[in-house]
Structure 1
Amino acid sequence: MSPATAADCATAWNASKVYTGGAVASHNGHNWTAKWWTQNESPGSTIVWADQGNCGGSSSPTDPPGSSAFVVTDAQFNQMFPSRNSFYTYTGLTAAIASFPAFAGTGSDTVKKQEAAAFLANVNHETGGLVHIVEQNKDNYPHYCDRSQPYGCPAGQAAYYGRGPIQLSWNFNYKAAGDALGIDLLNNPWQVERDAAVSWKSALWYWMTQNGPGTMTPHNAMVNGRGFGETIRSINGSLECNGGNPSQVQSRVNAYKRFTQLLGVPTGDNLTC
């Protein structure tokens, strides 16, 4: 039940601060109370925090920043991923989008929805429908440590396996993503599999800033009319494109077609790579 007037906002949540049971912090326009000891688990993305309602002057419940503007609704998200792991929350996604406002926020409404569909279609493929949080083939785990990097692999030889919606892997990617997000992922890569907001941010960081094996970021591919196929090239093109693994490409395309249909927009051209 909403209070008659909104409470003042508590001190803003700090990822590095330790909170014990009963501690209060504000995050995304709400006050939150810690249920037990917690650190670096963002309110709204874990069960650790109890929502005490909106704060700062508004008297009616509000969505987290970005969620009301995101072109995919909570209901549509659940339609896209009916068997998703509960770790992959819609709240975690919209919290992450707030850090990347250009994502699904550039161009016409059609382009915005196409980009959202493209991102989620690739995520669908990488995680088996948002089911898997970590890479399933553990034999690969020790391979993702590039010791030629000056910082090495401080979390361990086998610590940089694929995690999250886009399966972030390799020590250099964890280093770069962590530096960009202000999170120490090089020394603590496990944050990507434990905090939904961090996990989604790692995927959006790649989508918005990395060319991968392609020639442009997936974001630029979608907003500049290069098409869904170019996003595949930027994510896994060296293994899948140019006839490398057409069935994997088709899996991504099929999901993209489903999601654009759900969002009511055309797919656009250049679906494959």
Structure 2
Amino acid sequence: MQVRNRQRLTLPGCSSSGGSSGGSSGGSSSSDNTLAAVGMTKNQFRCVFNPSTNRDVLGRANTAAMIDKHWTQFTSAASQLNFRFGNLDEAAVFFGMVRHEYGGYLDDMRENCARQGVACRQYDTCRQGGNNYYGRGPLQISHCYNYEAMSQYVGVNLRSNPNALLDANNNLGWRASIAFWTRPEFNCQGTWEAVRAFPTCPAAARAGNIAAVSQRINGKVECNQNPRPANQDNRVSWIQNVRTSCFGLPRLTSNLYC
């Protein structure tokens, strides 16, 4: 993961107790407040991606139908990977990270440079030229080595077809983001020297340790710097707002910044 050209931070206006209303403009039923197998409710998901507070650099906003479609994709991806959040703290950190990363429009989760039709920085090319492995999907997966390792979890050769993560009509982007969060090939669970000193992303998130999750996801770029990068401030702000507005959790007061 790397820092990308983000939209300006605009904190969500949806307010709910435990995400019960979710701030969604779409139709809602009592079942939308029921805890799903993944460990959160549909209305909590709706709140995170509320159309009134999600907009990308091109001015496009999510729609209620789009949010419901992506909820189905997210829950099916979680089922395929046998994933469930350990508690609401983990769900809030995960979706706060997604809210910070994904760019504001669910049906086009590309790095902003690609949305705007300008050249993205060349992350790497698997030593053979060709594809640019810039950020794609809810957690903006980047770099060829991540795309190669991710292929086994999505059933597509992402080295040759990285844009498969952008197909808005299937759940590959969500599967990739859950795999990044849970599988040992990636920073969130990895044991190599750069990250092994920190709790895994799920363990840190369950304990409300935003700093450790940031270290694993983007530590090389935005951690241990003075002055603190704006990107780190924005990341923490999104997580805090998602916690309070969508999951009904209190603001965190420690282990915030890396």
Shorter-normalised TM-score: what interval?
A: 0.5 to 0.7
Q: Which residue in the other structure is 2:27 paired with?
A: none
Partner of 1:193: 166
State the shift of 1:226 in Å: 6.7
Question: Does the CA-based 8 Å contact 2:90-2:208 persist in structure 1?
Answer: no
Q: How far did 1:267 drift?
A: 4.7
> Greater share of strand residues, 1 or 2?
1
CA deviations 1:128-176 (Å, max 9, x no partner) are 33455111224225333141xxxx46xx243x22111011112211110
How many residue pairs align between the two structures? 196
Give the 3 Å change call, closer, same or farther, for CA 177–145 of structure 1 in structure 2: same
For the 8 Å contact 1:117–1:260, the answer to whether it is kept is yes
Mapped to 2, the partners of 1:178 and 1:143 lie a distance apart of 18
Q: 1:184 and 1:146, CA in 2 relative to 1: closer, same or farther beyond 3 A? A: closer
Q: Find 2:40's aligned residue among 66, 69, 72.
A: 72
Instruction: Confirm whether residue 233 of structure 1 aligns to residue 208 of structure 2.
Output: no
Structure 1: unaligned runs, 5 residues or longer? 1-61, 107-111
Distance 1:74 1:114 in 2: 16
1:165 aligns to what?
138
Q: Are the equivalent residues in 2 in contact too, given 1:162–1:169 (CA < 8 A)?
A: yes
Q: Matched residues in 2 for 1:166 and 1:77: separation?
A: 15
Taking a change above 3 Å as real, the CA distance of residues 143 and 69 of structure 1, as seen in their structure-2 partners, is closer
Answer with 1 or 2: which has the greater Rg.
1
The Cα of 1:127 is off from its aligned counterpart by 1.7
Identity %: 29
Q: Is the CA contact (8 Å cut-off) linking 2:138 and 2:173 kept in structure 1?
A: yes
Cα-Cα RMSD: 2.8
Cα distance change of structure 1 residues 181 and 267 upon mapping to structure 2, 3 Å threshold:
farther
Q: CA deviation at 1:113?
A: 0.5
Mapping 1:19-30, distance limit 5 Å: none
Amino acid at match of 1:100: L
In structure 2, relative to structure 1, the CA distance for the partners of 1:68 and 1:217 (3 Å cut) is: same
Cα distance change, pair 164–226 in 1 and its aligned pair in 2 (3 A): same
Q: TM-score, normalised by structure 2?
A: 0.66
- Seen in structure 2, the aligned counterparts of structure 1 residues 157 and 264 have a Cα distance that, compared at 3 Å, is closer
Shift of 1:252: 1.4
Structure 2 stretches lacking a partner, 5+ long? 1-30, 55-61, 189-193
Q: Secondary structure at the match of 2:112?
A: coil
> Which residue identity is paired with 1:199?
G
Indicate the structure whose relative CO is greater, using CA pairs within 8 Å and at least 6 residues apart. 2
Residue 185 of structure 1 deviates from its aligned partner by: 1.5
Residue matched to 1:93: 74
- With over 3 angstroms needed to count, the CA separation of the structure-2 counterparts of 1:179 and 1:70, relative to structure 1, is closer
Alignment correspondent of 1:31: none
Q: Structure 2 matches for 1:132-171, cutoff 5 A?
A: 132-137=108-113, 138-147=118-127, 152=128, 156-158=130-132, 160-171=133-144
- Residue 67 of structure 1: how far off its partner (Å): 7.4
Partner of 2:6: none
TM-score by length of 1: 0.63
